[in-house]
Amino acid sequence: MSNKRNHLWIPDEEVTRVEKKPTARTTPRNISFAEHGQKLSSSLQSIKQAIENVSEDDSLSDAGLMIFKVELPDGEKIKDKKDLFTSTGMEVKVVKSENKAVIATTKTQFQSLKKRIDDYTRSGTGKTYFDYIEDFKPYLGSEKNSNSLQKTTCLDVVPDSLDIQLMLVPNLREEIYNLAIKRLVGKIGDRNGTIQEEPYYLSDNTPVIRAIIPSNSLYHYENDSAIYRIEETDFFSADAASKDAVDLNELELDDSVVIDKLPIVTVLDSGVNFPEGLEPLILHHWTDGSSGGDSEHGTKVASRVAFKYICDQLPSTKITPRTRIIDCNILDGSVPVNVFIKRIQNAVATFCDISKIYNLSANASSPIEGDEMSILGYELDALQLRKNVQFVVSAGNHQLWSTESCLEDILDDDDSRVSAPADSMLSIVVGATSGETHPNSLSTKNEVSSYSRIGAGFNGFSKPDLTAYGGCIASVAGSVSVPEDKYSLLLDKNGKLTPDAGTSFTAPVVAGDFAEILEIIPNQDILLAKTLLYHNAMPIWDEDSITDEELEYAHNLYGRGLSNIDESKYSSPSKVTFVRTGTLNKVTKERVTIYMPEILAAQVGRNVAKVTVTCISMPPVDRTKGTEYLGAYIRASLKKSSSDGRLKPVQQDFKVGRQKWDVCHQFTKLFSRFEAGDWQIWLELFSRWDEENLDIPYALAVTIEDVSNTLDVYSEIEALNRYRAINTLRLRLDSQA
């Protein structure tokens, strides 16, 4: 970009905070309390009988607890019925969906609940509560099994043994957990199973036991009240293969580059082994008690982080890096999820004070299920909230290209869906797009790569978040190869330039891009850098003729598009970006003022101006809330000035980008005729679960663009002296997540 300008900071003086009074409305139900009460009473009796029938398998049989399910009518929400549960002694332990939950009571409270429902049946006492309980059901049996585990157990030939994760019911007391774990460990041994490592705890303190059990003993765990969910164990590994190629061992770093000033990215992988001339880029080599991986995969990943597409700098032997690397060698073969989590947690704890960006190019082999956040996806989200770091994650690869004959059939296959941890809501998830067209490849230039996993992500949200150009896979008569081009060629552990393909090598492209953007952000504000990254992503589809349905599909292939470093870092004379960070809670709204220049409003013609708005938030997450996983979201809307001096709402063309309960709210609008002056972005937070009035961090970017690219709108706005260039200020410390 020529004529680079710094983005403009929106100061507090341009923001009005408005009080908001949350309201909740209950719709009366027209039902017979006598008939409904009989149904509920019968259901409670069935629950009691079902639990007694499997008491031999119940680790909580003498713990005084009853675990079962409650269902509310369609349209009612568990989150709105706090009084119902507290008044009846039912404690919500896990929310399965917005109207279904797993609850616990003491046996005494269970009897009291049954008596109260009998009173309701006779006289309608407690209608305000019991009218809104659709039913009670046992929580036992195969419904505790993940979809993939259910598929495995339904095979014609079921494996003799299963490697599983036994997740206990969340939010129980410590003494209950201790009792349940002791009995479960004993049961696993008694039934010819074996514990794999020690039980571990998720970030919300839920215990998980990894065990290998005989498949014919699974029902003993399905019928244990202490168990909430049973999943097959995910394994994470690095997969890369090199062949003899161009020798790059003579490469040296450009002497003009001040290495100590380069941003840092931590590579969580199989180790990094750069040639001697590039070794100064490695800040640390670190392992976490393992022997470490062979550095084949990790070196390729790190080369993308440090040099992006290294071919762009060849044949020169002096090359310019863009980042330094912390090498966290944590992938030594096939690593089970429980071990992998501990290594990632330890790596972040060790380096979070000096490194805020973590590239993770490793995925489970199976696609996500989508209604439950994956174990690793949740742990990444929890780490990002707790440590104020940013993960950049690969979308994952599949093998469908080896059996399908066209790209369309691959994309229609459910097995092409993203794999854990690419369902993480706070990570930047990156897919792969073919950078060139090659014979015998199922994907051509600017099409999703034939191996790249696609969305939807968790609960139907758009994934990946972004895409980057990567290598292709070509197949002829069963012979598979990766054609050489600048998007496939990487530096391997032997100092060779070799082709490889996978989302493993597109995620680090974006990790390095993000590092470049973060470098110019005051106070290294991760949320603002992420907002600018998403805000300026370049679509690789036709924006002019696309429908809402087509746009949703495109987002699940390519996310928001390709990252654009220059426009993320700088405005230009004809394209001005306003930025701001802050916090919102459920009782305040913000009205943020931007300025639409006179010179742009005076333009005559169709679609002369474009306004783009992106707001990203960092809401709390809770894996025990099922599809209600995100605790809050921020809605952004645009108001334009009018000739009568009032602000008028701007209708948006697409629903895509403005979904409820997503971390990113984004839209673009073209204008032909409009009034100059003060426009506003209205920000409003909606929350689900916070007992307290939590302040949720957000970052906002708003761009006003002259579509003709001829007008100097920046200078007119700058002359107002209302907005400061971001390189002249430090952001408030309280804006940090």
Residues 173 and 267 in one domain: no
**pLDDT score of 80:** 87
Q: Are 247 and 215 contained in the same domain?
A: no
Which whole-number Å values give the CA distances from 34 to 117, 127, 694, in the listed order?
10, 11, 42
Both 14 and 66 in one domain: the answer is no
Yes or no: say if 384 and 378 are a contact pair by the CB < 8 Å rule: no
- 543 lies in some domain: no
pLDDT over 90, % of the chain = 82
Compute the distance between CA of residue 495 and CA of residue 91 in angstroms, rounded to an integer: 59
Q: In the listed set 484, 501, 519, which residue is the last one of a domain according to the structure? A: 519
- Residue 426, domain CATH: 3.40.50.200
Query: Which of 96, 98, 93, 94 has its CA nearest to residue 79?
Result: 98
Q: Which domain holds residue 724?
A: 5-22+571-734
Q: Which residue matches tokens 């509560």?
A: 129
Residue 136 has pLDDT above 80, yes or no: yes
Domain end position, chosen among 118, 140, 162 = 140
pLDDT reported for residue 604: 86
- Among 475, 490, 519, the domain boundary falls at 519
Identify whether residues 439 and 577 lie together within a single domain. Answer: no
Task: State residue 492's pLDDT score.
Answer: 93
Amino acid at 546: I
| Of 126, 197, 113, residue with least CA distance to 163 | 197
- Domain annotation covers residue 705: yes
3-state class (DSSP) for residue 673? coil
* Same-domain pairing of 607 and 466: no
Q: Based on the domain organization, do 302 and 358 belong to the same domain? A: yes
The contacts found for 201-204 with CB under 8 angstroms, 24 or more apart, are 202/375, 202/378, 202/379, 202/382, 202/623, 203/378, 203/379, 203/382, 203/383, 203/386, 204/170, 204/171, 204/382, 204/622, 204/623, 204/624
The whole-number average pLDDT for the span 429-447 is: 95
Cβ–Cβ < 8 Å for 385, 412: no
Higher-pLDDT residue of 321, 656: 321
Same domain for 326 and 385, yes or no, is yes
Give the per-residue pLDDT at 733. 45
- The arithmetic mean of pLDDT across residues 396-425, rounded, is 94
pLDDT exceeds 50 at position 379: yes
Residues 410 and 275 in one domain: yes
Tell me, what's the pLDDT at 24? 63
Q: How many domains does the chain have?
A: 4
Pair (586, 611) in one structural domain: yes
The pLDDT value given to residue 88: 87
Residue 561 lies in a domain: no
Same domain, yes or no, for 131 and 149?
A: no
Q: Which of 362-366, 412-416, 650-654 has the lowest mean pLDDT?
A: 650-654
Quick check: is 386 in a domain?
yes
| pTM assigned to the model | 0.94
State the chain's mean pLDDT as an integer.
93
Strand 390-394 and strand 428-434: the pairing is: parallel
Residues 6+ apart with CB under 8 A from 497: 245, 246, 247, 248, 310, 311, 314, 489, 490, 491
594 & 697 share domain: yes
**Do the beta carbons of residue 60 and residue 176 sit within 8 Å?**
yes
> pLDDT for 681-722, tens place per residue?
999 999 987 667 889 999 999 999 999 999 999 999 999 999
Largest separation between any pair of C-alpha atoms in the chain = 88
**Position 653 pLDDT exceeds 90:** no
Confidence label for 734 from pLDDT (cuts 50, 70 and 90): very low
Domain holding 651: CATH number?
2.60.120.380
Q: Is residue 204 part of a domain?
A: yes
Region 675-679: what's the mean pLDDT?
95
pLDDT over threshold 70, residue 3: yes
Q: Using CB atoms within 10 Å of the CB of residue 421, give its burial: 0 to 12 exposed, 13 to 18 middle, 19+ buried.
A: buried
Assign 30 a pLDDT band (cuts: 50, 70, 90): confident
Residue 577 has pLDDT above 90, yes or no: yes
For the ranges 157-161, 287-291, 648-652, the lowest mean pLDDT is seen at 287-291
**The tokens 């690593």 sit on which residue?**
335
pLDDT, mean of residues 259-273:
97
Q: 15 and 73: one domain?
A: no
Q: Is residue 547 part of a domain?
A: no
Residue 736 has pLDDT above 60, yes or no: no
Q: Is the pLDDT of residue 732 over 80?
A: no
> What confidence tier does 476 reach under pLDDT thresholds 50, 70, 90?
confident
For the segment 509-537, what is each residue's pLDDT rounded down to a tens digit?
999 999 999 999 989 999 999 999 999 99
pLDDT at res. 190: 96
Say whether pLDDT at 572 is over 60.
yes
